[in-house]
Amino acid sequence: MDLLNTLVEKGLRRELPTREEALAVLATSDDELLDVVAAAGKVRRQWFGRRVKLNYLVNLKSGLCPEDCSYCSQRLGSKAEILKYTWLKPDEASQAAAAGVAGGAKRVCLVASGRGPTDRDVERVGRTIEAIKEQNEGVEVCACLGLLSDGQAERLKDAGADAYNHNLNTSEATYEGITKTHTYADRVDTVQKAHAAGLSACSGLIAGMGETDEDLVDVVYALRELDSDSVPVNFLIPFEGTPLAKEWNLTPQRCLRILAMVRFVCPDVEVRIAGGREVHLRSMQPLALNIANSIFLGDYLTSEGQAGQADLDMIADAGFEVEGAGTTTLPKHRADALAAAGGGCGSQASAGCGSDASAEGAGCGSHTEAGGGCGPCGGHAPVPEPAESAEAAANQARTDLVAVRRRGAGTDLAPNA
């Protein structure tokens, strides 16, 4: 296909595709799917080889969130029967993180529900970061605590944080359909605060909330403009007890197309398959590794994921290798730019966006969540029915794959790592 050849050439040059090209990827047929994956795989291998970065989530504070994000099981008014607990102590969080590091995780993501941290919360998380780094030499730490106030990103960096996650989730045009308690602009502001403090910016999206192809392209282009170093791609987990419990709009094929579009628009950033991969990609997860270069190991914030050992087996069986602690994740030009901006986390591991110093919409590489710390979550806007019909989507519903987390942080049971 001329389209795919063009996208590969642009990806190898870090050149921004046109919106029409990005939309065309999402409109490809199932007969063309393997060609799309192969093309995206060429771009992925150019910048990341066959390495897969492992990240591990620690939910520092679960539930009890005052924000009304429609997709989130921790939202205000959620009836989802998730674990609810207040802040883990630093030693408890460090112990939970150690399980992920022992399983091969290079980055630990510390997440807390809520609109945003108080200064006391920032101090608490700072002590937790110090405890984790003291116990696990060389580990990267990404914080995800919600909307940041002035000076908080700097204090997290001083405490040893390498990155900050705050997802845009969906397009600006449809954001008000997700939440009324904060705005899309609030989220953009927090990502910019993290960047300005020299933290590696991690910001991504949630697919499957009823959005259009145009919405998906809009949010990915916004992520590229924000110059995130890593871009987590979440697939909505329709929790019973949330407003989006009936939103089953994804097929494995559509998930692969979305990942490919993200890779073409953001060619040289860490693209991470985040929440919902087991629910929606299912048996096609190994194929997605040809596009994305990063995944979460084990469980998520409030849901259970694939067994940690199964993740490792999947990576090996698909012909990929786990990225070692001594390897720099990002391509040299991005790692150098981050270091020059005051970052210094050369191995960057969160989700980010492509780089192009000369293309339209540049900024990526040049380095010149509705609702608080809900890390890998989904989003929703009441928009037209997606490409798959409602009837077809209903036939794809796999509620048996949505399992509430009952182990790990906040429990007496061993974590899945």
Please, are residues 360 and 371 in contact by the beta-carbon 8 Å criterion?
no
* Residues 296, 297, 301, 306, CA torsion sign: positive
Of the residues 72, 255, 353, 374, which is catalytic? Answer: 72
- Identify whether 345 is a catalytic site residue: no
Contact 69, 115 (CB under 8 A): no
Residues 393 and 247: their CA atoms lie apart, in Å, by: 8
Distance CA 277, CA 6 (A): 28
The token pair at 367 is 């380095």
- 144 assigned to active site: no
Q: Which long-range contacts (CB under 8 A, 24 or more apart) does 303-310 make?
A: 303/73, 303/237, 303/239, 303/275, 303/402, 303/403, 303/404, 303/405, 304/403, 304/404, 304/405, 304/406, 304/407, 304/416, 305/277, 305/278, 305/416, 306/277, 306/278, 307/416, 308/103, 308/416, 308/417
> How many Å apart are CA 147 and CA 159, to the nearest integer?
18
Distances (CA, A) of 140 to 101, 160, 274, 297, 341: 10, 9, 17, 15, 18
CB of 229 closer than 8 Å to CB of 266: no
Q: Retrieve residue 24's tokens.
A: 């065309």
Check 14, 75, 144, 202 and give the catalytic one.
202
Catalytic residue among 14, 69, 254, 374: 69
Beta bridge partners, 85, equal 62
C-alpha span between 245 and 243 (Å, rounded):
6
E strand or H helix at 180, and its extent?
none
364 is an active site residue: no
Is 255 designated active site? no
Name 409's Cβ contacts closer than 8 Å, sequence gap at least 6.
58, 59, 60, 62, 88, 92, 93, 96, 415
Residue 406 annotated among the catalytic residues of the structure: no
72 part of the active site: yes
Identify the active-site residue in 14, 44, 65, 257: 65
Q: Does the annotation count 272 as an active-site position? A: yes
Q: Which of 14, 142, 266, 353 is catalytic?
A: 142
How many C-beta neighbours within 10 Å does residue 79 have?
12
Active-site residue, selected from the candidate residues 14, 224, 257, 272? 272
Task: Identify any residues that bridge with 142 across adjacent strands, giving them in sequence order.
Answer: 109, 163
Residues recognised as catalytic? 65, 69, 72, 109, 142, 202, 272
